[in-house]
Structure formats: structure tokens, C-alpha cells
Amino acid sequence: MTGKVYLIGAGPGDPELLTLKAHRLLTMADVVLYDRLVGKEIIDLIPDTAEKKYVGKAKSLHSLPQEEINSLLVAKAKAGNRVVRLKGGDPFIFGRGGEELEELIEEGVPFEVIPGVTAAAGCAAYAGIPLTHRDYAQSVRFLTGHLKNGTTDLPWEELVHPAQTLVIYMGLTGLQEISQSLIRFGMVPSMPVAVVEKGTTSEQRVFTSTIKEVYEVATQNEVKSPALLIIGEIVTLQSKLEWYGKYK
């Protein structure tokens, strides 16, 4: 009897941002494969009876290649298990969830997707930065700073646009190149930028700067991954709206 795979978004870190459905299915799992960005407090929710396996990825350091993760999901489900594939944030936003589902479909394994709070929404909210605002930004764009080929060769001309917020996932490694490229393609050097480190967790740190100086600020403060970049005039509201330290 074939089991089922539940592709669950664990959110950006705070366990209380798990959806009710995600929490219910996680506590019923037979097998859980979890990523590097899933917080310890969420991992602690996995029942003791479940098989737990870390399959996370860091830059140039993968505990398992993606192909092996895909095969493992298939094998565990075909053995009749309720398999939870637990991913940080949302599995369909830079989470490679689509690649894993393609394999499940090819192998005839049933699955269900449970969306999660993506880092852009969670980290921005906890840092006090609205991603859109009638006076500052009427659009928001999510990008990854780490492309499949290992470069940060983004469509720079499209990104330098008024009234737009840019949110860059995994942008810390290429931060210097990102800032220089945006300026080279026309972004004003004084454009506000926020770097949110370990967003939504008790270790969250937020640094605001400009696109010209953000690399130096991040370096001086020894910012570590996971960190999210938010670029746009909307960042000027951060000091006014931040509520994390007061209400968390």
C-alpha cells in the first residue's frame, strides 16, 4: 500500500507561524525529511515515533543531492508511510518543491501541498517593513540571489524601477555584486535597504542602510545566513513601524 507525501511549508522560523494544517500533519507523520532552515522549535514538534532525517543544503554543502531526496520521498511513501517533506518558508517560493513533486507524479505517489509563510512576508512583518504601501511601493518582486549556475546574474534593468520593493532571498553571498550591479544599472546609491538576519526568531537582527553602503554594514556587523534583503523606499518606514522588540 502506497503512503502519501505532504509537502509542508514550515514558515521562516517562528513556530507559531505554522498553519493549523501543517501542525496537525506534522504531528501525525511517520517519516519527516527536513531542511536546514527549519527551526529547532519546529523540529521538536515531530513525534518521537517518527523517523527524522536531515536533508538540508548550505552553500556548496548538501547533505543529500536533490535527486536522492526525490528518490527517498518516493521510497518512503511506497513503503506505506505518511511522509512529511518539511521546508523552510513556503515550498513553492525558492523551495524546489516543484522539482520534488514532478518526481512523485512520475512514480505515481500521491501528495498534498501545505503552503507556509514565506520569508519575505514573515521577515518583513517582524522587521516593521510593509512590502507595499500606496505612497512608496505598488509592486513587490521576489528574487533569489543564488542562481542555479552559482552566479548572481539577475535581470538588473528590470529591477531598477520606481515604486517597487525588491526582496532578495539568499543574497548575502553575492551582496557586493548585487549592490554594485543595481547602482550600475541606474539605482540611486541612497536607495534604502534592510538586511534581516534570522527573521521572526528570537535571534532576529535588522540593519538598515543604503544600496551603496549595505555590503560594508553587513560585513561590519558579521551578518550570517539566513538573511533577507529588502530594497526600496518602503524601508524608510522601518524605524517607525518596527514592533518586534516591543511586542514579541
Specify the pTM: 0.91
For 40, how many CA atoms within 13 A lie in the half-sphere containing its CB? 4
**Residue range 174-182: mean pLDDT, rounded:** 95
Helix, coil or strand: residue 247: helix
Kindly report, residue by residue over 231-245, the tens digit of the pLDDT: 999 999 998 887 544
Percent helix, strand and coil across the chain, each to the nearest 5: 30, 25, 45
Q: Which amino acid would we find at residue 34?
A: Y
Assigned superfamily of 4-114: Tetrapyrrole methylase, N-terminal domain (3.40.1010.10)
Kindly report, residue by residue over 185-216, the tens digit of the pLDDT: 999 999 999 999 999 999 999 999 999 999 99
Kindly report, residue by residue over 125-141, the tens digit of the pLDDT: 999 999 999 999 999 99
**CB distance 12 to 200 below 8 Å:** yes
**CB distance 146 to 59 below 8 Å:** yes
* C-alpha span between 118 and 212 (Å, rounded): 27
Kindly report, residue by residue over 150-165, the tens digit of the pLDDT: 667 789 999 999 899 9
**Residue range 117-124: mean pLDDT, rounded:** 97
CATH architecture, range 119-247: 2-Layer Sandwich (3.30)
* C-alpha span between 199 and 171 (Å, rounded): 14
Helix, coil or strand: residue 15: helix
* C-alpha span between 102 and 191 (Å, rounded): 40
Active-site positions?
35, 57
H helix intervals, the chain: 20-26, 40-43, 66-78, 97-106, 119-127, 156-159, 175-184, 214-220, 238-241, 244-247
**Domain spans of the chain, in order of start:** 4-114, 119-247
